[in-house]
Amino acid sequence: MLHWIQYLRGYVAIKVWGYSVERLLNLCGNHDVLVWDIEDHGDYHTMHISIAGFFALKPLLKKTGTRAAVMGKYGLPFFVSKMWKRKLFVAGLFGCIFFWCLASRFIWDIQIEGNFALTEDVLMDYLEEQGVHTAMKKSGLDIGALEQKLREDYDLITWTSVQLRGTTLLIHIKENDMPVYDNRDKAETNRGMDLVAEKDGVVTYIITRSGVPLVACGDSVEKGDVLVSGAVPVYNEDTTVRRYQYVEADADITLSYGRNLSLEEEVAYDEKCYTGESIEIPVAGTGEKEIAFRFRKVPYEFYDTSEEKKQVQLLDHLYLPLYYGKRTVQEYEIVSKTHTEEEMKTLLQERFRKIISTLNEKGVQIAEKNVTIKKNEKKWVLRAHMQLEESAVKLTPTAVTEPVTDSDQEQETQTE
Amino acid sequence: MRRENRRQPFSPFTKSKELIVESLKLPKDTMLGAAIVTITGNREAFIENYKGILEYTTESIVLQGKNAKICFEGSGLSIDYYTNEDMKISGKIDALRYI
């Protein structure tokens, strides 16, 4: 307690030497000058004295023929005056505390756990829609409502737990392991779906599982033609249509069509030859504006520029709109060259193979192909005619014109 | 007798004062200005009602009481604090003498 009072009021450690230190001590006592922790070091005495006492000491020193020197200053008054010289530091300290208090009122990170089928991006977008995002105020978050909304909007989610831990929003969800059947799409298909050709061509193969086939093998069809109708007629006894039953058309159909292709390749070409000379320029900036830390011009006539940038990241999910990185400028020279015959052949064949492989990936089969290569002084041309087979069909809702004819016919039958 | 009288600094007046204080059971330190010395073990001494410091080294501290000098002898002696009325001495105290 006493130490605290001494600290708050401040004190000075002094060294006293001279004719009669004892007399000085007596005088101090008589003049109510507070002195403590007096130690004898032979030649001199050290003691602690209050600040007010130190100022009252001067006449006493003169009277007793002793001298005093300050060895150290302790206590709050000295600390404050020391800090007063470092105003910016103190302001920074308080600013920092203030900033932390302020920043801890916001959510700085959102973590989602337990999601398998629903990806984090989907959930993050959903949260954004709900007004839950990083750098939002904690007080603006209704945890109970968010939990409920998540369960309501996603059938897949069976259990939710939203927690605020510090400045992190933890969202635990449990997904339903049982498959969820969406009934909304089914309801639409009840109206009936047609299979429609997506390309012009010839039907080479058709097997219908449901619906009414409108084309047969060998028929030519145009894009947009209905191949299998989703409206199955129910006939009256007199073979007039009583009504239509709507189903989702399902059939294996292959359309065959021809396709011409021509690839050109020039014999002469320019090649980029990197000279190996390059400059690395550090860059920094926001998303749109950038500063390159180089003020001289790039000394190359032809050059490629590539950039590698990183975004400043504060936390796992919190990125600042600041980027930094480097820009590499590589010099190159343009050299004119000509392909050899062998090279030309492989170049064209490689391009053609790539086209075929992409067709294969799409599920297109090649029934026939006829490839010719025309050679010329300047360029080679590869021409190909291919007969392709593809199940180029898509489902479209059945046109609902039938009920009109349906009712007309009914009326006719009635009038008859 | 004379010699004894010289040695004794007390006047007949003080002697009678002492008598009165004794009989009335008044506190002696305030009435007679007698020093109270409280020693805890041999490491701490607490002195009240002293008049001044006469000598202060690590080996001995001599204080002026009203009627006698009080001399603490020992090693590593130091004054923790002192005011006009009281004082605390710490260190290893070997002897306490009244001179």
Q: Which of the four pLDDT bands, split at 50, 70 and 90, describes residue A268?
A: confident
More confident residue, A119 or A287: A119
Chain position carrying tokens 């501290």? B61
- pLDDT for A219 equals 87
Chain position carrying tokens 């920092």? A96
Q: Could you give the residue range(s) of every CATH 2.60.40.2000 domain in chain B? A: 34-99
Write out the residues of chain A at the interface with chain B, using a CB-CB cutoff of 8 A.
21-22, 25-26, 29-30, 32, 34-40, 42, 45
Q: Lowest mean pLDDT: which of A282-286, A343-347, A401-405, B88-92?
A: A401-405
Residue ranges per structural domain of chain A: 2-81, 106-175, 262-266+339-390, 268-338
Quick one: average pLDDT of A82-103?
90
Q: Which of A26, A36, A40 sits opposite B57 (nearest CB)?
A: A40
- pLDDT for A301 equals 84
- pLDDT for A414 equals 47
The one-letter amino acid at A76: L
A175 pLDDT above the threshold of 90: no
Q: Test A40 with B53 for CB contact under 8 angstroms.
A: no
pLDDT in tens, A396-407: 887 765 544 444
Q: What is the 3-state secondary structure (H, E, C) of A100-122?
A: HHHHCCEECEEEEECCCCCCHHH
Q: Which residue of B has its CA nearest to A38?
A: B79
* Residue of A17, A32, A38 to mutate, testing the B interface (most B Cβ within 10 Å of its Cβ): A38
Shortest Cα distance from A163 to chain B (angstroms)?
58
- pLDDT for B40 equals 93
Contacting residues of A for B78, CB less than 8 Å apart: 37-40
CA-wise closest residue to A245 among A230, A258, A264: A230
Q: Lowest mean pLDDT: which of A46-50, A92-96, A244-248, A405-409?
A: A405-409
- Asked if A393 and A198 count as a contact pair (C-beta separation under 8 A), the reply is yes
- pLDDT for A181 equals 56
Tokens (6 digits) for B66? 């009203």
Quick one: average pLDDT of A61-89?
89
Q: Test A26 with B52 for CB contact under 8 angstroms.
A: yes
What gap in Å lies between CA A167 and CA A164, rounded to an integer? 7
What gap in Å lies between CA B65 and CA B48, rounded to an integer? 10
Backbone angles phi, psi at A32, to 5 degrees: 60, 35
Which architecture characterizes domain B34-99 according to CATH? Answer: Sandwich (2.60)
B4 pLDDT above the threshold of 50: no
* Residue of B60, B70, B82 to mutate, testing the A interface (most A Cβ within 10 Å of its Cβ): B82
A212 pLDDT above the threshold of 90: no
Quick one: average pLDDT of A105-131?
88
Q: Test A38 with B58 for CB contact under 8 angstroms.
A: no
- Asked if A212 and A229 count as a contact pair (C-beta separation under 8 A), the reply is yes
Instruction: Say how many C-beta atoms besides its own lie within 10 A of residue A152's C-beta.
Output: 9
Q: Which of B55, B78, B84 sits opposite A38 (nearest CB)?
A: B78
- pLDDT for A69 equals 92
What gap in Å lies between CA A324 and CA A295, rounded to an integer? 18
Task: Kindly give the pairing relationship between strand A168-175 and strand A109-113.
Answer: parallel
- Asked if A193 and A228 count as a contact pair (C-beta separation under 8 A), the reply is no
Q: Is A319 helix (H, G, I), strand (E, B) or coil?
A: strand
- pLDDT for A412 equals 46
Q: Test A36 with B78 for CB contact under 8 angstroms.
A: no
Q: Test A37 with B81 for CB contact under 8 angstroms.
A: yes
The angle subtended at Cα A114 by Cα A109 and Cα A117, nearest 5°, is 110
Percent of chain B residues topping a pLDDT of 90: 33
Q: What is the 3-state secondary structure (H, E, C) of A241-291?
A: EEEEEECECEEEEEEEEEEEEEEEEECEEEEEEEEEEEEEEEEEECCCCEE
Q: Which of A32, A36, A42 sits opposite B80 (nearest CB)?
A: A36
Contacting residues of A for B54, CB less than 8 Å apart: 22
A2-81 fold: Alpha-Beta Plaits (3.30.70)
Q: Which of B53, B77, B83 sits opposite A22 (nearest CB)?
A: B53
A106-175 fold: Ubiquitin-like (UB roll) (3.10.20)
Contacting residues of B for A30, CB less than 8 Å apart: 84
Q: Is A293 helix (H, G, I), strand (E, B) or coil?
A: coil
What gap in Å lies between CA A44 and CA A173, rounded to an integer? 76
What torsion do the CA atoms of A359, A362, A368, A373 make, to the nearest 10 degrees?
0
Quick one: average pLDDT of A45-69?
90
- Which strand (E) or helix (H) includes residue A22? helix A21-30
Contacts of A30 (CB under 8 A, 6+ apart): B84
Q: Which residue of A has its CA nearest to B61?
A: A22
pLDDT in tens, A299-325: 888 888 888 888 887 766 667 778 888
More confident residue, A60 or A406: A60
Q: Test A21 with B56 for CB contact under 8 angstroms.
A: yes
Contacting residues of A for B72, CB less than 8 Å apart: none
What gap in Å lies between CA A405 and CA A319, rounded to an integer? 63
Q: Test A35 with B81 for CB contact under 8 angstroms.
A: yes
Tokens (6 digits) for A199? 């390309």
Q: Test B82 with A37 for CB contact under 8 angstroms.
A: no
B32 pLDDT above the threshold of 90: no
